[in-house]
Amino acid sequence: MFRDALIRILVLLILVSLSSSKALSAVSTQKKKAAATPGAKAPARTIQPSRATVRPASYSRTKGVVRTGPWRQPTFADSTDGDWTDGEDQQVRRAAVEALGPYNGTVVVADPHTGRVLTLVNQKLALGSGFQPCSTIKVVAALAALSEGIIERNTMIRLARRSSMNLTEALAVSNNPFFAALGDKLGFDRVTYYSRLFGLGERAGLGIEAEQPGILPAAPPPGGVGWMTSYGSSITLTPLELAALLSSIANGGTLYYLQHPRNQEEVANFLPRVKRHIDIRQWIPEVKPGMMGAVEYGTARRAGLNNSEPILGKTGTCTDERSPTHLGWFGSFNDVGRNKLVVVVLLTGGRPANGGVASAVAGSVYRNLSQQNYFAQSRTISPSALVSTQACCAR
């Protein structure tokens, strides 16, 4: 009797245990289903933010706005809105607008032999107070260092224990330590002097309404003069200033006032105006190989190499902290005899705005015009323009 009762108790305990296990399993299954069901509430938990999860700005190509991120300028926009074009070269205008496409930026195309602006895409952006020049300032630093006898083209500057570089390679690949070293050797006063000589910190145009000048600092930036000559720190540069500077290199040393005719009557009566002559003729051959190397194998490869119509230029990529906006610069000129052009591209926005993309835009401008035989056409040169050009070459 006692044995039978004990057996019954044990069986009862086993059945109760099995029943509890099934109940717990059912509850767990229901929780899993509830978590997988849309709208179901999940247990609250705290997730600490991580640097690895922070992503750069997100951009809307169609709306042209910055949705998130640190930048306050759109990457894409209608860059022709509000431009007046009656006095422009319409062939050049079409080529520039097509090349720029949907990017938020500006394209300046100028005749380096007269200072005439043939087209100015996105005039509101181009005529503003400018942006940090990024690495385009290295052209000024190179010419200053050559003029002061600090370096020659083949002077090797030690950058690290087993690394040295000369001017040509440094310009082509935009080496920051090289140009920081030049800035330290030049000093603030000489860097400022040559920057002003090339037209920085003053209006590049003559009679161009609403144009604002760039800014040169009154003292070195916190990082020192080397930051000025490698990154353009504390300097603001306008696209017109860069176009005038590069025109002086392309034409042999004449800094023209840039003029942007408003109508065909002003085109017919156009008279070049010389701002000053810069004694750099002997140094231009020293910087040209590096500017050509940028297109051949350096930072401006996307401009596209064409041995019959070579392009020389300098890129710039950085973040303008005042705006803030990411920048892509490319200042350039082609080497096709009399019919040279200066093309300056500035892109603003997020990471897609960089010097490589800007060089691709400029390269497209040159190719578009070349395909239309623009550079093979004869240009009508006014007597005043001819005299002005000869005067520059005689000095």
118: pLDDT strictly greater than 50: yes
218: pLDDT strictly greater than 70: yes
pLDDT, position 74? 87
Average pLDDT over residues 324-352: 93
Q: What is the DSSP letter of 103?
A: B
293: pLDDT strictly greater than 50: yes
Please check whether residue 391 is in contact with residue 253, taking contact to mean a CB–CB distance below 8 angstroms. no
**pLDDT band for position 363 (50/70/90)?**
very high
pLDDT, position 4? 54
Report residue 258: phi and psi, to 5°: -80, 135
In sequence order, the β-bridge partners of residue 314 are: 331
Between 123 and 54, the more confident residue is 123
50: pLDDT strictly greater than 60: no
**pLDDT band for position 53 (50/70/90)?**
very low
Classify domain 64-394 at the CATH topology level.
Beta-lactamase (3.40.710)
- What's the token pair of residue 392? 């520059």
> What is the C-alpha to C-alpha distance for residues 221 and 235, in angstroms, rounded to an integer?
9
Tell me the pLDDT tens digit for each residue of 198-217: 999 999 999 999 999 999 99
Residue 82: CB partners within 8 Å, gap ≥ 6? 123, 124
Please check whether residue 326 is in contact with residue 351, taking contact to mean a CB–CB distance below 8 angstroms. yes
Between 382 and 118, the more confident residue is 118
**pLDDT band for position 70 (50/70/90)?**
low
Query: Closest by alpha carbon to 295, among 326, 327, 334, 328?
Result: 334
Between 184 and 8, the more confident residue is 184
For the ranges 30-44, 128-142, 157-171, the lowest mean pLDDT is seen at 30-44
**pLDDT band for position 307 (50/70/90)?**
confident
**pLDDT band for position 381 (50/70/90)?**
low
316: pLDDT strictly greater than 80: yes
Residue 313: CB partners within 8 Å, gap ≥ 6? 291, 294, 295, 300, 303, 330, 331, 332, 333, 359, 362
pLDDT, position 26? 45
Taken in order 27, 33, 35, 40, the sign of the CA dihedral is negative
Residue located via tokens 């240009």 = 379
pLDDT, position 110? 98
| pLDDT more than 70, % of the chain | 78
For the ranges 17-26, 104-113, 330-339, 348-357, the lowest mean pLDDT is seen at 17-26
Query: Closest by alpha carbon to 133, among 213, 41, 210, 238?
Result: 238
Pairing of strands 65-66, 105-110: unpaired
